[in-house]
Amino acid sequence: MKVSKLLVGLLVGALSLTAYAQQPIVIKFSHVVAADTPKGKAAEMFAKKAAELTGGKVKVEVYANSTLYKDKEEMEALQLGAVQMLAPSLAKFGPLGVKEFEVFDLPFIFGSYDDLRKVTNGPVGKQLLSKLEPKGIRGLAYWDNGFKSFSLNSPIKSPADLKGKKLRIQSSKVLEEEVRALGGLPQVMAFSEVYQALQTGVVDGTENPISNLYTQKMHEVQKHLTLTEHGYLGYAVIVNKKFWDGLPADIRTQLGDAMEQATRYANQIAKVENESSLEAVKKSGKTTVYVPTKEERLAFKKALVPVHQKMESRVGKEVIQAVYKDIG
Ligand code: LMR
């Protein structure tokens, strides 16, 4: 009797150990934009590929739209290990003490996605990601969103139209300087708060790639959008370093492959997603979309390019020069 009880006990123990061993490793992937955006879709793609390539050993839970954390909090949550993966905009690493990423915010520095790729796929891109290591963060990839345009409740045809306007920006000193160069008043604010701030008039306008503008319905509270495409917004996909380094080697390799596939997908869809968001904004009839003439865009460029030199001491002259060199 005693022996059989012991056997049953051992069997139950063994079964629950097996069940425990079969529990998937959970990666909480938090982000602030809608699921239906380039980043949202790429995060879902990563989750799918991670499950496939690890044979279900890893489960990626994607939390979109700031449902878990807002901008600043999500960085802290990653460092504390409350979430394992994020993809913050490159404009949001300054508060962490990694100012060099703000090179991506310099107005008109990239003429195209191709220019950008030369940087993110090259040594500068790698070197920038390595600066996250001392913060307990490993950088895995760069994901595109796109080029930002200004929106307001009044028409925007020249830099003078932004004078005295309160413009919401991401937490980047370069963006602060950009708005000041136009005579505007920069207001740093979490992404999740922008719609309401626009609606209530806490800020007059903002800058965003169209996919963000559209999926947050900002076009419903902004009467004018001018396709200035004056700056870039993209992402670094990052993980908690301790978590990543602690993964079994084979799983880490499989997740690396999943990330590679998700990155290819992200960078394939970003442009198209932004184009279809622009069509949807136009169709909504809520915002007047204006395409600046060559001369008008040049006036913005003239007003904004001095920001490069002004921000040398913040971003690092060498980093800026290295980017110029990559672009050629
Ligand atoms: C913003 O705050 O405007 C963007 O960084 C949001 C995002 O993640 O694209």
Distance from residue 87's CA to the centre of ligand 1 (Å): 10
In-domain check, residue 14: no
Name the nearest CA neighbour of 91 among 110, 77, 106: 106
pLDDT in tens, 151-160: 999 999 999 9
Residue 69 has a pLDDT of 96
Distance from residue 160's CA to the centre of ligand 1 (Å): 25
What are 29's strand-pairing partners? 62, 85
The beta strand positions in the chain, using DSSP E, are 25-30, 58-63, 85-86, 137-152, 166-169, 185-188, 205-208, 224-240, 288-290
Residue type, 275: E
Name the nearest CA neighbour of 210 among 292, 277, 282, 110: 277
Distance from residue 125's CA to the centre of ligand 1 (Å): 20
In-domain check, residue 15: no
Cα–Cα dist 261/284, whole Å: 34
What CATH number is attached to the domain comprising 56? 3.40.190.170
Cβ neighbors of 193 (< 8 A, separation 6 or more) are 70
Angle subtended at Cα 75 by Cα 269 and Cα 245, rounded to the nearest 5 degrees: 85
Distance from residue 327's CA to the centre of ligand 1 (Å): 24
- What's the ipTM? 0.98
Where in the sequence is the domain holding 29, given as residue range(s)? 25-327
pLDDT in tens, 286-297: 999 999 999 999
In-domain check, residue 6: no
Ligand 1 pocket test target in 208, 222, 277 with most atoms within 8 Å of CB: 208
Nearest CA to ligand 1 atom 1: 191
Checking if the pLDDT of 144 tops 80, the result is: yes
pLDDT in tens, 9-28: 555 555 555 555 579 999 99
Number of domains in the chain: 1
pLDDT in tens, 73-129: 999 999 999 999 999 999 999 999 999 999 999 999 999 999 999 999 999 999 999
In-domain check, residue 287: yes
Cα–Cα dist 76/291, whole Å: 39
Q: How far is CA 284 from CA 218, 225, 276, 279, in A?
A: 12, 13, 12, 9
Q: How far is CA 192 from CA 25, 65, 170, 215, 294, in A?
A: 29, 7, 11, 12, 34
Atom of ligand 1 nearest to the CA of 31: 8
In-domain check, residue 321: yes
Atom of ligand 1 nearest to the CA of 37: 9
pLDDT in tens, 206-243: 999 999 999 999 999 999 999 999 999 999 999 999 99
Report the pocket of ligand 1 as residue ranges, CB < 6 Å: 32-33, 89, 145, 170, 191, 208, 212, 233
pTM of the model: 0.93
The pLDDT-based confidence of 1 (bands split at 50, 70, 90) is very low
3-state secondary structure at position 59: strand
Residue 22 has a pLDDT of 75
Name the nearest CA neighbour of 86 among 64, 58, 119: 64
In-domain check, residue 11: no
In-domain check, residue 17: no
For the residues of 152-218, what is the DSSP string, one character each?
ESS--SSGGGGTT-EEEE-S-HHHHHHHHHTT-EEEE--GGGHHHHHHHTSSSEEEE-HHHHHHTTG
CA 51 to centroid of chain Cα atoms: 23
Q: How far is CA 11 from CA 15, 22, 119, 311, in A?
A: 6, 16, 57, 66
Tell me the average pLDDT of the chain.
94
Neighbours of 211 (CB within 10 A): 30
Checking if the pLDDT of 7 tops 90, the result is: no
Tokens of 57: 């050993």
In-domain check, residue 223: yes
